[in-house]
Every structure is written in structure tokens, then in C-alpha cells.
């Protein structure tokens, strides 16, 4: 290792999502549409959960926080991706890279733990309804705060690890955002301890939360299978189908990236997977919960009727009084 060529890193260059100029405008329009749908959809769900009293239950309180995390997560990555698709130089300063890495680390862990808590919430509601009274607003707020605190711990670990890395030669990140695994691959210092820390953190925050989800759904499915009526089975499964779909998409893509060997060939493959779980998944979550969740669709119809029909009734009453 040639330490004499190492200089203090002041900025990094993203390789970007694609190197083909003919596809850049197409991808820009596609990712911009996804980003707009993500913002509008998740913000709409948050507003819907707040104004509809029938959705003031733990599941939708947690879901509104998940939607808020998805908005922040997408906003942390997608605008920079969009600007790099049309920019001649895809640069990011060292401080901005550390900041993005920290924010992504916080939001990733928050999403992991929120999905795990939502799985336990479904377990309590279906398998042991007497336990569901424990899911009070205060406890739900503490769980959300705990997920944020855990995310901050993860961000601090990742930031300290990055600050201790040395970078030599071309500062080109073979991705479209600052990711700790990309920085490990780029660093010219001894990164064995960083690999160990990354695997430990991935196991602690990712695998453990995945196990919580799996164990919860093993009990949920076994309970549903014991229900005699087909209608009861369908109703019980419909309450957790949306969450299970979101879990499979998020955990499947995330664990695929962070648990596989970090090689040059895997980085090329990771670009597609990374754009899926950083850009597409926040949009899919809102579509999954709005299109596949009967309670959310019913709440949307109630709010729509309240907005469009109540004013008309008021006008008719006013006309009757004036006559």
C-alpha cells in the first residue's frame, strides 16, 4: 500500500446510476415521477391517518411514522440522484457525504424496527387480543423514539468508522449515494475491522429485526390456519397482507446488499438493487398500504365523501332557508 499518495479527502465523485447518456433523460423522468408519487402518497397517508378517527389505532400510528421515514429517506437520496443524471460532474463534498451516510443509517434502522414493531402489533391483535391493550399511544410513541435512538447509534458507529478511513487515488464511489459498504471498498486503509463492524451492525439491526418479523408471522399464520371459517381466515390475513408484502420487499433487497461479499461485480449488481430499495420501495409502501388495505380505502372514501358531499348538503340547506 502506497501511503505517500494518500491525500485528505475533500470530495467524492459518484459513478451514478448509468453511464449511458441516451438513457439519462429517461431515468430522470422515471425517478422524478417515482419521487413525486412517494411524496404525495406518503404525505396523503399521514394526513388521512390524522383526520380519520377510525384509524387512530396503534397500527396506523406506526404506519404514519413509517410513511414519514419513507419521505425523509427518499428525499435524502433521490434529489441528488436526479441532479447527477443531468449534471456533467457528479461530485459530493466529504462533509455532505458523511451527513448523507448518517441520515441514511438512521432512517434504515428506523424502518427496520418500525416494520418489526408493526409485525408484533399484528401478532398481538390476531394471536393474543388481550395483549393488544398494552399497545397504548404512550408505548407506541416510546417505540418510535427508541427506533430513532437506535438509528442514531448506528449512524454514530458508521460515521466514526468512515472518519477513520484513509482514501487514496480517484475518489470515485461506485454508486449514486454515500453508503458505508461503498466507502469500505474505496478506502485504501486496513478495513478488516470495518467489515467486522458492518457485519455486526447488519446482524444486530437487520437480522434480529427480521427474526422478530418471522417469529411474529409464524404465530400469526398458525393462528389464522386454526380459524374454521374461510371468511374469518381471509379477514385475518387481509389485516397483515400489506405489511408482509412491504417487509418482504424491504428486507429482501436490504439484506441482499449488506450480507453479500463486497466485490466489484457485486457493486454493479447492487446499483439496480440499491435504486429499488432506496427510491422505489418508499413509493411501493404507500401503494401497498393504500391499494391492498381495505381499511385505508374505506377511510379514503369517507374523507372523500366528507369533502365533496358535505359542502353540497350545506348549500342545499342554505337555499332552503332563504326560500
pLDDT one-digit tens code per residue, 248-267: 877 777 666 666 655 555 55
> What pLDDT shows up at residue 261?
57
257 vs 204: which has the higher pLDDT: 204
Mean pLDDT of the chain: 80
Task: Find how far residue 170's CA is from the centre of its chain.
Answer: 31
Does pLDDT of 316 surpass 60?
no
How far apart (Å, rounded) are the C-alpha atoms in residues 201 and 196?
9
> What pLDDT shows up at residue 37?
93
Banded model confidence at residue 1, pLDDT cuts 50, 70, 90: very low
190 vs 318: which has the higher pLDDT: 190
Q: Are 127 and 218 in contact (CB under 8 A)?
A: no
Does pLDDT of 314 surpass 90?
no
Does pLDDT of 296 surpass 80?
no
| Collapsed DSSP state (helix, strand, coil) of residue 11 | strand
pLDDT digits (tens, 9 = 90+) for 22-63: 888 899 999 999 999 999 999 988 988 888 888 888 888 998
Does pLDDT of 220 surpass 80?
yes
pLDDT digits (tens, 9 = 90+) for 106-163: 998 998 899 899 888 888 888 888 777 778 888 899 999 999 999 999 899 888 888 8
Ranked by mean pLDDT, which of 141-145, 219-223, 267-271 comes out on top?
Answer: 141-145
> What pLDDT shows up at residue 209?
85
> What pLDDT shows up at residue 262?
54
pLDDT digits (tens, 9 = 90+) for 67-105: 999 999 999 999 999 999 888 888 899 889 989 999 999
For 30, 253, 256, 283, the CA distances from 249, given in Å and listed in that order, are 20, 6, 11, 12
Does pLDDT of 320 surpass 60?
no
> What pLDDT shows up at residue 129?
81
**CA proximity to 223, closest of 117, 130, 317, 128:** 128
> What pLDDT shows up at residue 323?
40
**Fold adopted by 9-310:** Rhopdopsin 7-helix transmembrane proteins (1.20.1070)
DSSP 168: B
**CA proximity to 165, closest of 144, 183, 151:** 183
Amino acid at each position: 500500500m502506497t501511503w505517500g499518495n494518500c491525500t485528505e479527502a475533500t470530495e467524492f465523485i459518484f459513478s451514478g446510476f448509468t453511464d449511458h447518456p441516451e438513457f439519462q433523460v429517461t431515468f430522470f423522468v422515471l425517478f422524478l415521477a417515482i419521487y413525486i408519487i412517494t411524496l404525495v402518497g406518503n404525505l396523503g397517508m399521514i394526513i388521512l391517518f390524522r383526520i380519520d378517527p377510525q384509524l387512530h389505532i396503534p397500527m396506523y400510528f406506526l404506519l404514519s411514522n413509517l410513511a414519514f421515514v419513507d419521505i425523509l429517506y427518499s428525499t435524502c437520496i433521490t434529489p441528488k440522484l436526479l441532479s447527477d443524471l443531468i449534471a456533467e460532474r457528479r461530485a459530493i463534498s466529504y462533509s455532505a457525504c458523511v451527513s448523507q451516510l448518517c441520515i441514511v443509517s438512521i432512517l434504515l434502522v428506523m424502518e427496520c424496527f418500525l416494520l418489526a414493531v408493526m409485525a408484533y402489533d399484528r401478532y398481538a391483535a390476531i394471536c393474543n387480543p388481550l395483549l393488544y391493550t398494552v399497545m397504548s399511544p404512550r408505548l407506541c410513541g416510546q417505540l418510535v423514539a427508541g427506533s430513532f435512538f437506535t438509528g442514531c447509534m448506528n449512524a454514530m458507529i458508521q460515521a466514526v468508522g468512515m472518519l477513520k478511513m484513509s482514501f487514496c487515488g480517484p475518489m470515485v464511489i461506485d454508486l449514486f449515494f454515500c453508503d458505508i459498504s461503498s466507502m469500505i471498498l474505496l478506502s485504501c486503509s486496513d478495513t478488516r475491522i470495518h467489515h467486522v463492524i458492518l457485519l455486526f451492525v447488519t446482524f444486530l439491526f437487520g437480522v434480529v429485526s427480521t427474526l422478530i418479523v418471522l417469529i411474529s408471522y409464524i404465530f400469526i399464520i398458525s393462528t389464522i390456519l386454526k380459524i374454521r371459517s374461510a371468511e374469518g381466515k381471509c379477514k385475518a390475513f387481509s389485516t397483515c397482507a400489506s405489511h408482509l408484502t412491504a417487509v418482504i420487499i424491504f428486507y429482501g433487497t436490504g439484506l441482499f446488499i449488506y450480507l453479500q461479499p463486497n466485490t466489484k461485480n457485486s457493486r454493479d449488481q447492487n446499483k439496480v438493487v440499491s435504486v429499488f430499495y432506496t427510491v422505489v420501495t418508499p413509493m411501493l409502501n404507500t401503494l401497498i398500504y393504500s391499494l391492498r388495505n381495505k381499511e385505508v380505502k374505506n377511510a379514503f372514501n369517507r374523507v372523500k365523501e366528507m369533502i365533496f358531499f358535505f359542502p353540497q348538503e350545506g348549500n342545499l340547506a342554505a337555499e332552503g332557508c332563504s326560500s
